Amino acid sequence: MPESAAPAWDRDRLIRSPWFASVRAELERLPADRFPERDDLNALARERGVLSGGGAPLAFVAPGHGGASARHYEERIFLTGAVATRAGSWHDLFNALAWLAFPRTKAVLNRLHHAELARRGDGPARGTARDVATLFDEGGIVVACADPALAALLHGFRWKQLFWDERAEVAAAMRFLVFGHAILERALQPFKGVTAKALVIDVGREALDDAALVGRLDAQAAAYFARPDAVASTRALSPLPVLGIPGWTPASDEPSFYDDAAVFRPGRSRAR
């Protein structure tokens, strides 16, 4: 989305939206009266001790800062902790918020990129592992689920049964926390076909409304992506049409909303 087309900064509107539940705690710490600056983000990163995949303290910096160390975006983060962040950019802001909310997972993905670059080089083909990391980094959603039957419906692409027939149980037993900064950006001007890559994590019901839920899911997602099999196939994570989630758009209050097969597609066998 062109920055010129983006809406004006309205922190409180973002805080109220379910799209931004994963980064709500971070949004609450940002200025209400102006678009956040790098200094605001860096203060939070220092306070929380956020580290890159290589163990360097994270810092959000102007693009081009760092000279020769900027040969590659991910390598630069890994080696120096410097995350290129454009002033006034929603996309880069949401990337920064993802680092602050999910520091362990972001570090694991950064470490994966660095290892794959060292192994394969920076050619035109990224390879499957980096493709998976990029897909989740840009378009991931973490789903906390306390009911295995609901997880099975999600993995089976049974969208109307999940989001309409089991609507009350979804509200009681699932939480949807956006990880990917491109999905967060898409929430500014959403459309029905927005689809994320879902990592479903089993949790107990008592954990669903715990204030520490995001941190717990961050640790579990980081452990997942540290496994070699997690990045062996781009089909390992289920697609999830996010506007199907109850409460994310008023249009989903009608059962016919889920009859659009171009969005709520019947599934394939899920790769493992």
Mean pLDDT for 79-86 is 96
64: confidence class by pLDDT, cuts 50, 70, 90: confident
Assess whether 212 and 95 both reside in one domain: no
For residue 199, what pLDDT is reported? 98
* 40/26 Cα distance (integer angstroms): 10
Assess whether 98 and 183 both reside in one domain: no
Domain final residue pick, 125, 155, 182? 125
Question: Are the C-beta atoms of 47 and 97 separated by less than 8 Å?
Answer: no
127: confidence class by pLDDT, cuts 50, 70, 90: confident
Residue 217 forms part of a structural domain: yes
Assess whether 29 and 84 both reside in one domain: yes
Q: Is the entire prediction scored with pTM above 0.85?
A: yes
For residue 217, what pLDDT is reported? 98
* Structural tokens at position 209: 């409304």
Assess whether 139 and 253 both reside in one domain: yes
Assess whether 111 and 186 both reside in one domain: no
Mean pLDDT for 21-42 is 98
Assess whether 140 and 117 both reside in one domain: no
- pLDDT at residue 238 tops 90: yes
Domain final residue pick, 93, 125, 157? 125
Assess whether 226 and 172 both reside in one domain: yes
Assess whether 39 and 66 both reside in one domain: yes
Q: Give CA separation, 101 vs 30, 84, 213, in Å.
A: 13, 18, 11
* 116/10 Cα distance (integer angstroms): 39
Assess whether 96 and 150 both reside in one domain: no
As a whole-number percent, the residues of the chain with pLDDT over 90 amount to 85
The domain total for the chain is 2
Assess whether 28 and 99 both reside in one domain: yes
Assess whether 170 and 215 both reside in one domain: yes
Mean pLDDT for 189-213 is 95
For residue 93, what pLDDT is reported? 98
Residue 13 forms part of a structural domain: yes
For residue 105, what are the domain limits? Answer: 9-125
Residue 270 forms part of a structural domain: no
* 56/59 Cα distance (integer angstroms): 9
Domain final residue pick, 105, 125, 145? 125
- pLDDT at residue 270 tops 50: no
Residue 265 forms part of a structural domain: no
Residue 4 forms part of a structural domain: no
With 0-12 / 13-18 / 19 or more C-beta atoms within 10 angstroms meaning exposed / middle / buried, residue 31 is exposed
Q: What is the pLDDT of residues 186-200, one digit of tens each?
A: 999 999 999 999 999
DSSP string, the chain: --GGGSPPP-HHHHHHSGGGGGGHHHHTTS-SSS---HHHHHHHHHHHT-B-TTSPBPEEE-TTTTGGGGSSHHHHHHHH-EEE--TT-HHHHHHHHHHHHSHHHHHHHHHHHHHHHHHH-S-S---HHHHHHHHHHHHEEEEEES-HHHHHHHHTT-HHIIIIITHHHHHHHEEEEE--HHHHHHTTS--TT-EEEEEEEE--GGGTT-TTHHHHHHHHHHHHHTSGGGGS-TTSSEEEEGGGSTTS-GGGGSGGGGG-TTTSPPP-PPP-
267: confidence class by pLDDT, cuts 50, 70, 90: confident
Assess whether 139 and 232 both reside in one domain: yes
Residue 59 forms part of a structural domain: yes
- Pairing type for strands 82-84 and 174-178 reads unpaired
Residue 268 forms part of a structural domain: no
For residue 69, what pLDDT is reported? 35
Residue 150 forms part of a structural domain: yes
